Amino acid sequence: MSAQSKTFPHPNPPPRAGEGDERAARQSPSLPPRAGEEPAPEALLIGGARRADGGGLERIEWMKIRQDFPILQRKVHGKPLVYLDSANTSQKPRQVIEAVDAFYREHNANVSRAVHQLGEEATALYEGARTRLAAFIGANHRDEIVLTSGTTMATNLVAYSYLLPRLKPGDAVLVTAMEHHADIVPWQLICKSTGAHLKVAPINEAGELIVDKFIEALTPEVKFAGVVHVSNVLGTVNPVKELARECRKRGIPLLVDGSQAAPHLPLDVKSIGCDFYCVTGHKMCGPTGTGALWARRELLEAMPPFFGGGEMIKTVSFEGTTFADSPRRFEAGTPNIAGFAGLVAAIDYLSGIGMANVAAREHELLEYATPRLQAIPGMRIFGSAPGKAAVVSFLVDGVHAHDLATLLDQEGVAVRSGHHCAHPLMQFYGVAATCRASLAFWNTEAEIDAFVDAIGRVRKLLA
């Protein structure tokens, strides 16, 4: 496959040895053109939607975009698949699947360890993910991006590399009552080993963070704060820009968990003003085992390594080791290179559609679904914050969440049931579990109708 192939549509070949990571990343076969350059003709069409001259889209052919997702054509238990579990993991368009396949077929080699052609191509693809992610979330520089296996690894990296050396007995870490376990457990582990403790900012019954209480909790003992951008259970979109501003006034670093925001909203970490931001690739149409930590450059440069091994060093002797500059000092060992090749394709795919268009479409679907679900007798929906994302957690009177999800699966409808890695939030609402339907831009109104009808049939079955 040539560098101008369908899977990697870019006119520039991979760099030659010795030309540096920056140029390697710029010439990755899937990278966008520099400002003022003309994009390759192949890049003008993504999933049937054509770019307008102003950078937006003239029209969005959502049904044609849906055809990019092969799995949506299959049947489950003889019924057409209705996939409503995107908050857990997104489905993958063929462009991402082909990018991973093409890596193994055409470019497979390790990164940064060879001067041969395959090694250069693999490095270009891997470093291209860093560049693409930086642009996608609005970072100042690609070297503010640490490539990780996802948000969980990113939060643990911050916990052990940044926070552990700084906490002491009596200090506190502030989180909210709606956090995912990945923004609770790492801080608990660090608190236990340092004598610090966890503080929790409350939410109200509608699933909104009580912002005044969060600000009141930013007392001198608080040395760090973590908040989810979009709740994976409630869909609540937290005012992270305001929270970051209040933390910054007090000199408290803030980490934002962007796992549920990056697939659904336009992002600009500079505008948010936080200190750390985490994303997970498999929730944004990319492969599993991919993600990133963004951090302010001065913070990264002051952080010691978390993992040790190959790739994160300058020199090693038995007397001591000198480490690579950030972000590479945090990327020990062989990474998920094929996965990041796929993530490049995923970011290109989402960017081609436009994240503002994604957000608008998903809002339309939520507005369509909500009144139809509310009309179901015995339906209880958790989370009604204004402007929420397209996530609906619910229970139906008299039906256990797991039973409901199992019976919906027999109807071809895939929803999530359980605590959604948010035990404390379930405790707040006094339930053991909920069902969760999470929508994505490829879903349709007809699928929502099928979902609502399936709940009706299940209720009759269990009556």
Residues in the chain: 463
Which residue matches tokens 């291209």?
128
Give the C-alpha separation, 151 to 149, whole Å.
7
In the structure encoding, which two tokens stand for residue 318, read together? 């038995």
Give the C-alpha separation, 439 to 166, whole Å.
40
List b or e across 115-141, with b for residues whose CB sees 16 or more CB atoms inside 10 angstroms. Answer: eeeebbbbbbbbbbbbbbbbebbebee
For the question of residue 421 being annotated catalytic, the response is: yes
Say if CB 291 and CB 279 are below 8 A apart. yes
Say if CB 324 and CB 132 are below 8 A apart. no
Give the C-alpha separation, 122 to 14, whole Å.
9
- Write the CA distances from 181 to 106, 155, 210, 231, 295, integer angstroms: 39, 11, 20, 12, 21
Other CB atoms within a 10 A radius of the CB of residue 101 amount to: 15
Relative to beta strand 291-295, strand 313-317 is unpaired
Helices (H), 285-336: 297-302
Question: Pick the catalytic residue: 278, 285, 421, 435?
Answer: 421
- Write the CA distances from 144 to 182, 299, 330, 433, integer angstroms: 21, 9, 12, 38
In the structure encoding, which two tokens stand for residue 46, read together? 């993504």
Q: Which three-class secondary structure state does DSSP give residue 145?
A: strand
Give the C-alpha separation, 14 to 329, whole Å.
24
Q: Which three-class secondary structure state does DSSP give residue 381?
A: strand
> Could you give the residue numbers annotated as active site?
421
